[in-house]
């Protein structure tokens, strides 16, 4: 769900010479070095600056898309310009336009782009040396991860920082240096937090981040019907099965999911004469299921192509080894599909979103049994459509953020 994950370097001896402590930390945590800034006079219009790693085509789904939508809404509500600050690769403006257009969001004022590269430990290049960020009094900053927040904390007024928190980011790491750095940022008392979903908000408070009661607000994501809806299916064609496949994102449990699908195929839960299997995600290796079936791989889809595909799905499997429900189960349910996902902590069931979402314990047997139930529900069109009609998923991003905007005017 987040804007990206930081590049964490191993500490390796460079020579027999001693290394300055600051340099040693930089080698390990290049992304959290203070953001280089300089102060300029305040212009007529205010500005909202969104700080993220990348807005490249492969980075736009889930958390980055939500961050763009949120920042655009804040800019419009505060009658400000929007500036997108990226750290790992030069910005591609058309990618932002694609996301906002897909959701029907129009900015009232201009959008600006800034590239402020993360300084590597071998010293800044000529271009990096010139890359500093102009800021002015009253500017608002939306950070999108613990590391972009860590970089902003020493560089801009803390009261101006709004941390869009879309996962328990401590769960990205084993107990060690990275987790400790993340925990330090999450426990910051004098910034404000916007948390993606009530489930995640309640989990974070229960895990010891009690200051979020005062300093945070939660929102539920929206799924506009113009984008997420059922598409026409071939009546005589196979039903379509969707697996959210991201092998390089450990919390999506790629190998466990494949093992579940393979078992379901071998046991006849997924009859490949009746079901077409689609692996949807990024960096997906070629795999073989059952007695030699090679599922179709769908990668690098843009927003419209992804929504068009999701609208043709009958049953999905999407795993997330964290408290957040993640987007694919909600995308699928919002588009008329049945979907199986896993339980985790206070994520015990997701019926508050849709009765077409089935949650199972995180083991192969339980997930295969949930797929068996999912197949039955996907084939029961009357119940499936009744559940779809009763969905409580939001459809308006502007309304989704209503409860969070008081943080932008409050003095907490």
Instruction: Give me the percent of the chain exceeding a pLDDT of 90.
Output: 78
Smallest CA-to-CA distance from 134 within 215, 205, 43, 233 is with: 43
For tokens 């790992």, name the residue: 88
113 alpha carbon, distance to own chain's centre = 21
Cα separation of 375 and 336, whole Å? 14
- In terms of phi and psi (left: phi > 0; alpha: psi -120 to 50; beta: otherwise), the region of 336 is left
Residues 101-146 pLDDT 10s: 988 899 999 999 999 998 775 555 444 445 799 999 999 999 999 9
- Residue 58 clears pLDDT 80, i.e. is over it: no
Neighbours of 393 (CB within 10 A): 18
Asked if CATH classification 3.40.50.360 holds for the domain at 21-222+399-408, the reply, yes or no, is no
Instruction: Give me the percent of the chain exceeding a pLDDT of 70.
Output: 92
**Out of 171-185, 198-212, 230-244, least confident range:** 230-244
In the CATH hierarchy, which fold is given to the domain comprising 239-389?
Rossmann fold (3.40.50)
- Position 3 confidence tier, pLDDT thresholds 50, 70, 90: low
Burial 205-240 (b: 16+ CB within 10 A, else e): beeebebbeebbbbbbbbbbeebbbeeeeeeeeebb
Q: Which pLDDT score, from 0 to 100, does residue 2 have? A: 60
- Residue 406 clears pLDDT 50, i.e. is over it: yes
- Mean of per-residue pLDDT scores for the chain: 91
Q: Which pLDDT score, from 0 to 100, does residue 22 have? A: 81
* Structure-token pair, residue 182: 């993340």
The backbone torsions φ and ψ at residue 19, rounded to the nearest 5 degrees and listed phi first, read -115, 135
Asked if the domains 21-222+399-408 and 239-389 are classified in one and the same CATH topology, the answer is: yes
Classify strands 315-317 and 46-52 as parallel, antiparallel or unpaired.
unpaired
**Out of 130-134, 265-269, 360-364, least confident range:** 130-134
Q: Which pLDDT score, from 0 to 100, does residue 125 have? A: 47
The mean pLDDT value for 66-80 works out to 95
As a whole number of Å, the end-to-end CA separation of the chain is 27
Say how many residues make up the chain. Answer: 412
Q: Which pLDDT score, from 0 to 100, does residue 157 have? A: 97
- Residue 366 clears pLDDT 70, i.e. is over it: yes
- The residue ranges of every structural domain in the chain are 21-222+399-408, 239-389
- Residue 6 clears pLDDT 70, i.e. is over it: no
Cα separation of 397 and 399, whole Å? 5
The mean pLDDT value for 229-248 works out to 90
Q: Which pLDDT score, from 0 to 100, does residue 39 have? A: 95
The mean pLDDT value for 247-271 works out to 97
């Amino acid at each position: 769900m987040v804007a990206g994950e930081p590049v964490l370097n191993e500490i390796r001896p460079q020579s027999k010479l001693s290394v300055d402590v600051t340099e040693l930390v930089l080698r390990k945590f290049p992304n959290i070095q203070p953001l280089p800034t300089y102060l300029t006079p305040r212009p007529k219009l205010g500005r909202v600056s969104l700080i993220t790693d990348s807005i490249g085509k492969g980075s736009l789904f889930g958390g980055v898309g939500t961050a763009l939508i949120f920042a655009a809404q804040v800019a419009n509500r505060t009658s400000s310009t929007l500036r997108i600050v990226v750290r790992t690769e030069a910005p591609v403006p058309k990618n932002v336009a694609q996301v906002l257009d897909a959701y029907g969001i129009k900015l009232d004022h201009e959008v600006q782009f800034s590239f402020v590269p993360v300084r590597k430990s071998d010293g800044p290049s000529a271009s990096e040396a010139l890359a500093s960020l102009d800021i002015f009094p009253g500017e608002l900053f939306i950070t999108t991860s613990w590391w972009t927040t860590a970089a902003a904390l020493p560089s801009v007024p803390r009261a101006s920082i709004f941390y869009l928190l879309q996962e328990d980011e401590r769960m990205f790491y084993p107990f060690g240096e990275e987790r400790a750095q993340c925990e330090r940022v999450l426990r910051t008392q004098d910034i404000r937090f916007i948390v993606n979903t009530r489930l995640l908000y309640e989990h974070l408070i229960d895990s010891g981040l009690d200051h979020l009661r005062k300093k945070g607000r939660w929102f539920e994501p929206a799924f506009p019907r113009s984008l997420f809806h059922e598409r026409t299916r071939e009546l005589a064609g196979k039903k379509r099965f969707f697996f959210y496949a991201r092998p390089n994102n450990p919390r999506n449990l790629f190998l466990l999911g494949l093992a579940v699908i393979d078992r379901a195929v071998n046991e006849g839960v997924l009859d490949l004469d009746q079901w077409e299997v689609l692996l949807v995600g990024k960096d997906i290796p070629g795999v073989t299921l059952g007695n030699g079936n090679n599922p179709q791989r769908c990668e690098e889809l843009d927003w419209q192509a992804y929504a068009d595909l999701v609208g043709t799905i009958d049953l999905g499997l999407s795993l997330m080894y964290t408290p957040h429900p993640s987007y694919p189960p909600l995308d699928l349910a919002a588009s008329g599909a049945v979907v199986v996902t896993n339980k985790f902590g206070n994520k015990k069931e997701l019926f508050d979103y849709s009765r077409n979402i089935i949650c199972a314990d995180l083991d192969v047997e339980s997930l295969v049994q949930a797929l068996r139930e999912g197949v039955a529900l996907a084939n029961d069109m009357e119940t499936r459509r009744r559940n779809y009609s009763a969905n409580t998923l939001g459809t308006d991003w502007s309304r989704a953020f209503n409860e969070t905007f008081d943080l932008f005017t409050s003095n907490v």
